Every structure is written in C-alpha cells, then in structure tokens.
Amino acid sequence: MENALRVLKVGLCVAGGAVSYVLFFVVLGFLSGLFTGWKKEYFKDSKFYRFVLNSMTGLTIFLGGMRVKVKGEKLPEGRFVIVGNHRSNWDPIISWFMFRKHNISYISKPSNLKIPFYGRIVRRCCFLPIDRASARNSVKTIDKAAELIKSDAVSIGVYPEGTRSKTCKLLRFHNGVFKIAQKANVPVVVVCITGTEKVKANFPWKKTHIELNVLEVIPAEKVAAMTTQEIGKEVRDMLGKALIEAGEQPYDETEEAA
C-alpha cells in the first residue's frame, strides 16, 4: 500500500511539473507577443524571441509525438538559403527547430504571420511575408531576405513550391526564390522531409516518425553561375530522386504533362 501511494505521489509530482512547464511557456509566449507589432518587419534577430520560439516549438514537437531523425550532408557554418519539399504545415516548424543553431527565418504567406501571438513572435525573429499575387511585392521580399543574409542576421528558409502539396507530390517550382541565394552569394541547402503529413492522423495515440534528409549543399559559386531555372530543375530532380528512394511517387503525371 505504501509503495502504491509513493508511486502515485511521484506520478502526480511529475504530471504537475509537466503541466507547470507547459503553462510557463504558454504564458511566456502570450506575454512576449504583446510587445511586438503584427505589421512591423524586423531586420535584427532577437535572441530572446528566438529562445521563446525554439522553446515553444520543442515542447510542441515533443507533446505532439513527433520523433525526428536528421541525416545527410552537414549544413554550412555560415549563412545559407534552405529549400525543400512542402507537404505539411509542420515542415518549417520542424526544420527551424532541428536546425535551430543556424537561426533560420522562413518566408511565409501573410496569414501565417497574423496568427495571434505566434505571428508576432516569428516576425520578431525576422520571418517575412510574401505576396505571391504581386510580382513587385515578391521581388521586394526577395531583396529583404537577401539583405537579412548579407547582414548576417539569419539564414532564410523558403519553399519553391509556394504552398504545401496536399497530395505530397511535388508541385511546380517558383524559381524566383533562388534569387535570394544569388543576391546574397550564399549556398543553397536542399532538404527532403517525409512523414509530417501523418502527424494529424497519428495524434494523440501514435508517435509520428519524421525524417529530415539533407540531400546536398549547392556551393555559392555554382548557384551564382546558374540560372534560377537551372537551380530549380536540379533541386526538384534531387527531391524527386530522394522521394523515390523513400518509396514514394513524387510526381503528379497530369501536372508534369501540363
């Protein structure tokens, strides 16, 4: 009886500690969001807000049952542009956390940066909105992203597909995003992600195994010597090959024929 009570007491203490930990970061995120502007763009990464973002992200990944494996090439020491396939809203979240020492800021659709508190925090970490409906505004965002890299503020993450693929098959690329790497004279890191589309279906009863495969680091010199279309084709071919090796069909035949 005494042993059972002792186990129960320990269990309650652990559960209470976990709940307190979660509440702490929820309150911290809430309060942090009050001191940033949801319309303002920032060009200096905040160590405090980056800590808040990474802490909340790490907690979310753990509680969400996501188990992430990183393999492949080593990331560069300096700044870079990181690109990959986009199959779930979890893709950028997992990527900026797993590569957190590189302070990656993503280019995202404007609505993501308007999410209460979260949107304010990522803005303070130099995330940028992009208006794909306007070519002029898209170019402005590309220029801002290149300046962030050149000032050594952050590395930039962007998805050439422009939006997540609901079928997990590769969509056509918007190759203009590779201009960021060319303007900033930095490498392009190509990452293939698999498994993130299963998170919603698996939660909360099953763990989701996710893989981040760093396929290649395209040197800055090679990026500068190629056209954006050539870079896009090479990157898309890499991703297609990696997905085939992972046992997937990476292409929509109707879209490829269009």
- Span 132-153, pLDDT tens digits: 877 788 999 999 999 999 999 9
Average pLDDT over residues 86-107: 97
pLDDT band at 116 (very low <50, low <70, confident <90, very high): confident
The string of pLDDT tens digits covering residues 43-62 is 899 999 999 999 989 999 99
Q: Summarize the confidence of residues 173-200 as an average pLDDT.
A: 97
Number of folded domains that form the chain: 1
> What distance in Å separates the CA atoms of residue 122 and residue 36, rounded to the nearest whole number?
10
Q: What percent of the chain has pLDDT over 70?
A: 83
- Domain membership flag for residue 15: no
Q: For 42, which DSSP code?
A: -
What value does the mean pLDDT take over residues 82-99? Answer: 97
**SS3 at position 223:** helix
Residue 101 lies in a domain: yes
SS3 of residue 81 by DSSP: strand
In this model, does residue 15 exceed pLDDT 90? no
Letter for the amino acid at 157? Answer: G
Structural domain harbouring 157: 35-257
Can you give the pLDDT at residue 37?
A: 62
Q: Which are the contacts of 144, defined by CB distance < 8 A and separation ≥ 6?
A: 41, 43, 128
Which SS3 state, helix, strand or coil, does residue 239 take? helix
pLDDT category, 193, cuts 50, 70, 90? Answer: very high
- The model's confidence at residue 16, banded by pLDDT at 50, 70 and 90, is very low
Q: Is residue 24 part of a domain?
A: no
Closest CA to 103 of 151, 35, 58, 54: 54
**pLDDT surpassing 80 at residue 1:** no
Band (18; pLDDT cuts 50, 70, 90): very low
**Residue given tokens 């009863």 in the structure block:** 205
In this structure, is residue 215 part of a structural domain? yes
Helices 2-33 & 47-63 angle (0-180, nearest 10) = 140
pLDDT of residue 177: 96
φ, ψ for residue 209, nearest 5 deg: -95, 120
Identify whether 28 is part of a domain. Answer: no
In a domain, 18, yes or no: no
Confidence category of residue 199, pLDDT binned at 50, 70, 90: very high
pLDDT averaged over every residue in the chain? 87
Query: Does residue 244 belong to any structural domain of this protein?
Result: yes
In a domain? residue 20 = no
**Cβ within 8 Å of residue 42, ≥6 positions away:** 36, 123, 124, 125, 126
Q: Residue 238 sits in a domain of what CATH number?
A: 3.40.1130
